[in-house]
Amino acid sequence: AINGQSGTDPDHLQDTMSHVLDAIINSIPAPVVDKDGPTQLLVANIDFDNFIGKLGIGRVRSGSLKANDGGSYGAMAGPDDTMRPVTVKELFVYDNLGRKSVDSVGAGEIVMFAGVSDIGIGETLVSRSNPLPLPKLAIEEPTVSMTFAVNKSPLSGREGDKLTSRVIRDRLYKELDRNVALQVEDGASDAFKVSGRGPLHLTVLIETMRREGFELEVGPPQVIYKEIDGKKHEPWDSVEVQVPEEHSSAVVDLLNRRKGEMQDFGKADTGDYAYIRYLVPTRGTIGLRTNLLSATRGLAVIDSNFDSYRPFAGDVGNKEKGSLLAFEDGEATSHGLLGAQDRGQLFASPKTAVYKDMIVGIHQRPGDLRVNVCKQKQLTNMRSATKGIVEGLSPPIELTLDSAVEYISQDEIVEVTPNSIRMAKQQGWDKKNKK
């Protein structure tokens, strides 16, 4: 495929991909459609265009669809819904990596249509004269929420140009046009509650926003609880890990400590690998990926999906170690970091801008500790026999958005800017602890 060659015999390849296309046509059955029936198109996805608005995407199951054929079509969310009249203004089909406008399409075509501003996933475009809606598709509900807020740190405004709550709010609500599984609620103090299908779903949005020039503060992930039959329930994920057999015991121990329930354990089809399948509370999967990779030397292959809501599993345990906090505003120095690294592992490097209560490392013991990473070395006019010896400073831990979101506790936040990822304590955290 890289060389643009294909064939039925590996020793006689030709400079064409027609053999691959023929194999697809011969191996994959054609869609079951009714070209002469009434119009049916089940909306499987939506998109948004800045010029023509919301776009519905789906396959024409029956009949045909024409652009600007006012009064012929309606939309229904399942057989029990009331039909509302709609007008399809434009039709598009996929063309290579883009799309092209067409006047009409027949059954079997995957199309995009514009003109229905309130269309949603699971609805069916039907013929008004003979409406036959398909069963509505169910969209998975959010299981995790995070707080997005205006960046209030002393270093705010240095890198991004989108800083205010109004701009952040407009961007989040605009995301709802494309991201149907996302939910946004206005909160207090320039903050917004954003809910999605797991931390990964939300960190993808955060990464997109920071690349667009946004600065914001993000709170720790919180699972969304439900009360079912008078009892507290929480989301559980199905986690499957493929790992070399010598590391399987470490994986089992880690999942057990997070209130996981083993579902399957066996030998994988390839190599000396074992597969381990667990049901784990979603709370327990936050930070799990990083810990699994550390326990298996990066050899674990991890896959997780939402399973169901189940009874509350109890406490899954807090962080075993505290954080190292900057003592004051300033710039980290080699001398200050050298003294701080005896207390734990560091995130900061020399010349890193820091501010009071910013997290600069992982404390080697439980509890948080302030360290003076901005400390200057005392200068004297005395000669030293060890003047030319440079003491070793350990390289800092590389901080990514995913690892930062997994690391923070309930009283901590992640500061996200176009060029930097920082972690800090929430304002007033020390007063709350004293109470």
Which residue ranges in the chain fall short of pLDDT 50? Answer: 385-390
Measured distance CA(130)–CA(40) in Å, rounded: 10
pLDDT, residue 33, reads 84
Q: So what's the pLDDT on residue 388?
A: 43
In order of 46, 217, 289, 291, 303, the CA distances from 300 in angstroms are: 35, 31, 9, 10, 10
Per-residue tokens: 205: 């949005």
Helices 288-295 and 248-257 meet at what angle, rounded to 10? 150
Reference 289, options 161, 199, 415, 197; nearest CA is 199
Q: What is the spatial distance between Cα 149 and Cα 9, in angstroms, rounded to a whole number? A: 60
Cα 263 to Cα 277: distance, rounded to the nearest angstrom: 5
Contact (Cβ atoms closer than 8 angstroms) between residue 236 and residue 226: no
- 429: number of CA atoms within 13 Å, CB side? 14
Please state, in angstroms and rounded to a whole number, the distance separating the CA atoms of residues 219 and 392.
35
Tracing tokens 């080697």 back to the chain, one arrives at 364
The pLDDT of residue 409 is: 86
Please, what is the end-to-end C-alpha distance for the chain in angstroms?
65
Q: How far is CA 92 from CA 46, 74, 212, in A?
A: 13, 19, 28
Which of 21, 67, 64, 19 has the alpha carbon at shortest distance from 40? 64
Pairing of strands 369-371, 323-326: parallel
Tokens 């109004």 appear where? 166
* Side-chain-facing half-sphere of 192: CA atoms under 13 Å: 23
Q: Are 365 and 371 in contact (CB under 8 A)?
A: no
Q: Are 374 and 330 in contact (CB under 8 A)?
A: yes
Rounded to whole angstroms, the Cα distance separating 374 from 336 reads 5
Q: What is the pTM of this model?
A: 0.79
Distance between CA atoms of 51 and 114, rounded to whole angstroms?
10
For the chain, the three-class secondary structure string (H helix, E strand, C coil) is CCCCCECCCCCCCECCCHHHHHHHHHHCCCCCCECCCCCEEEEEEEEEECCCEEEEEEEEEECEEECCCCCCEEEECCCCCCCEEECCCEEEEEECCEEEEECEEECCCEEEEECCCCCCCCCEEEECCCCCCCCCCCCCCCCEEEEEEECCCCCCCCCCCECCHHHHHHHHHHHCCCCCCCEEEECCCCEEEEEECCHHHHHHHHHHHHHCCECEEECCCEECCEEECCEEEEEEEEEEEEEEHHHHHHHHHHHHHCCCEEEEEEECCCCCEEEEEEEEEHHHHCCHHHHHHHHCCCCCEEEEEEEEEEECCCCCCCCCCCEEEECCCEECCHHHHHHHHHHEEECCCCCCEECCCEEEEEECCCCCEEECCCCCCCCCCCCCCCCCCCCCCCCCCCCCHHHHHHHCCCCEEEEECCCCEEEEECCCHHHHHHC
How confident is the model at residue 389, as a pLDDT? 40
